């Protein structure tokens, strides 16, 4: 579903705590805690990758909310 480096996964779950998590939680983590993981340059390719990631996480969240995915 979502493959991330183990250290980022550890940081995410430490930030989230023991609560269950959803795709929207990872997006909040990226935007609020680890924005440095998003390419900092303003290139067109970087913006395209960032937009693709946002679109993908939003779609994943919608599927989760429709119970297509189980937590």
The answer to whether the beta carbons of residues 16 and 25 sit under 8 Å apart is yes
Q: How far is CA 52 from the centre of its chain?
A: 11
Phi, psi (5° rounding) for residue 40? -80, -15
pTM, full prediction: 0.67
Closest CA to 37 of 13, 70, 4, 67: 4
The answer to whether the beta carbons of residues 64 and 26 sit under 8 Å apart is no
Helix (H, G, I), strand (E, B) or coil at 10: helix
Report pLDDT digits (tens) over 6-42.
Answer: 898 899 999 999 888 888 898 899 888 988 877 667 7
């Amino acid at each position: 579903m979502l493959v991330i480096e183990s250290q980022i996964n550890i940081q995410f779950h430490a930030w989230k705590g023991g609560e269950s998590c959803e795709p929207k939680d990872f997006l909040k983590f990226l935007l609020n805690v680890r924005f440095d993981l998003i390419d900092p340059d303003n290139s067109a390719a970087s913006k395209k990758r960032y937009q693709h990631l946002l679109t993908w996480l939003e779609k994943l969240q919608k599927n989760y909310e429709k119970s297509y995915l189980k937590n």
